[in-house]
Amino acid sequence: MAELKLSESRDLTRIERVGAHSHIRGLGLDSSLEPRAVSDGMVGQTAARKAAGVILQMIKDGKIAGRAVLLAGQPGTGKTAIAMGMAKSLGLETPFAMIAASEIFSLEMSKTEALTQAFRKAIGVRIKEETEVIEGEVVEVQIDRPAVAGAAAKTGKLTLKSTEMETVYDLGAKMIEALGKEKVSSGDVIAIDKASGKITKLGRSFSRSRDFDAMGPQVKFVQCPDGELQKRKEVVHCVTLHEIDVINSRTQGFLALFTGDTGEIRAEVREQIDTKVAEWREEGKAEIVPGVLFIDEVHMLDIECFSFLNRALENEMAPILVVATNRGITTIRGTNYKSPHGIPIDLLDRLLIISTQPYTEDEIRKILDIRCQEEDVDMSEGAKCLLTKIGVETSLRYAIHLITAAALACQKRKGKTVELDDINRVYNLFLDVKRSTQYLMEYQSQYMFNETGEADEDETNAMVS
């Protein structure tokens, strides 16, 4: 008899792909906003993390809006990691929008429209509404099916009870279908929204916890609701201004939210929405939640975008703007003028500047330990020491890239732990920037379109040294 093979089932709720910052869980601060040495995937940069934590606390308290923060530092010093840590620490309630500066240069929409949409993605609206809910424990579900199919509609009765009362409700065809979909049985605690007829299963009653039913580990036991069955409940919805814009900008606008094809949204639509939201705020129906807009590689914006940011930050519904750059004194895009970080002086004056410092050898070692754990790579002590040395002499990013490559080399020789030989092998296979530049200098005459002059030679010498 052939063996019955069961297909292997995997839980796909978590995305298992390892990203550059997938090990970041937060800013790694304690309750008094003091940075821990290694925490939440963050290592070092204590001053920068503490400054980011102070900004974060002010955002949570709703104390500031329309402020801007600049994360400035050399490449590979953890600027994006700090921004990701801020996003994780904020939680789901506060909107966090993230764009790269070059994303706004598109043929489909103007630069200012792209920036406006990004700003409005970072502003949340918490809308409160009262709904009537029937909440109780199901005593009995009785459904009468007609003897002949299609002869008459199904009818039924639902008995619900709370700690104080018990009521029998007559069910129509729609409610019977909804109860069947949710697999509601006696002993379940359910909530029915009176307006929409939506049924939510809250759990199973504690009084049925000793029943001899087969139950999975995910079954939640709850108390039987007290008081009356029919209650008024306040429901809070959190949406961003951009989502409201898209839904109201066209017929079936909510579909555009899923396709991403939002297009340009007219100014009149936004004005009407702002007026409506202002009315809701006065009536106490809604409140504004200023979020965070993170623009990476901000030096890629041009002078028009910078002047737009200046104006947008003065708006009363502006989010907190966090920008990052790795440039020194460089030309402002769209002009011939030079400025620190490639940002005009008037905008720089509005920014709170947080600088990041290069990592020490000890910090590089700790980061490599975290990345080995994240990428599920078992590495020997000697290999880690060599990789740390490579990270100090070349760059941290290059050392991190070698982790998975060395793991594959180890796998090829059917080893379990990455050793020194595996690191040496991939180090010789993949060049870092310094070795690649040196190679170019040696063989530059054999490359096409070689126009290296004396000035360029000086630059390449500086890169190698």
* Domain covering 36-93+290-353 in this structure, CATH number: 3.40.50.300
Gap between the Cα atoms of 323 and 329, Å rounded: 16
Gap between the Cα atoms of 160 and 135, Å rounded: 8
Is the per-residue pLDDT at 55 higher than 80?
Answer: yes
Average pLDDT score over the chain: 83
Give me 288's structure tokens.
């504004």
* pLDDT the model gives residue 331: 93
259 pLDDT band (50/70/90 cuts)? low
The pTM of the full predicted model, rounded to 2 decimals, is 0.73
CATH 2.40.50.360 fits 127-233, yes or no: yes
Give me 67's structure tokens.
């402020």
Gap between the Cα atoms of 52 and 54, Å rounded: 5
* pLDDT the model gives residue 196: 79
Gap between the Cα atoms of 105 and 102, Å rounded: 6
* pLDDT the model gives residue 12: 42
392 pLDDT band (50/70/90 cuts)? very high
Q: Which range has the top average pLDDT, 1-5, 87-91, 95-99, 146-150? A: 95-99
Strand partners, 329: 340
* pLDDT the model gives residue 453: 53
Is the per-residue pLDDT at 2 higher than 70?
Answer: no
* pLDDT the model gives residue 14: 44
- 213 or 222: whose pLDDT is higher? 222
Residue ranges, CATH 3.40.50.300, the chain = 36-93+290-353
8 pLDDT band (50/70/90 cuts)? very low
Is the per-residue pLDDT at 307 higher than 90?
Answer: yes
Counting residues of the chain whose pLDDT is more than 90, the rounded percentage is: 27
* Angle between helix 381-393 and 396-412 (nearest 10): 140
Contact (CB, 8 A) for 155 and 174: no
Residue ranges, CATH 2.40.50.360, the chain = 127-233
Distances (CA, A) of 129 to 104, 192, 279, 283: 36, 16, 14, 12
* pLDDT the model gives residue 15: 46
Residue ranges, CATH 1.10.8.60, the chain = 359-438
213 pLDDT band (50/70/90 cuts)? low
Gap between the Cα atoms of 23 and 45, Å rounded: 16
For residues 39-44, average pLDDT: 85
* pLDDT the model gives residue 185: 82
Distances (CA, A) of 282 to 275, 279, 419: 11, 5, 66
* pLDDT the model gives residue 426: 93
Gap between the Cα atoms of 187 and 203, Å rounded: 9
The CATH architecture of the domain made up of 359-438 is Orthogonal Bundle (1.10)
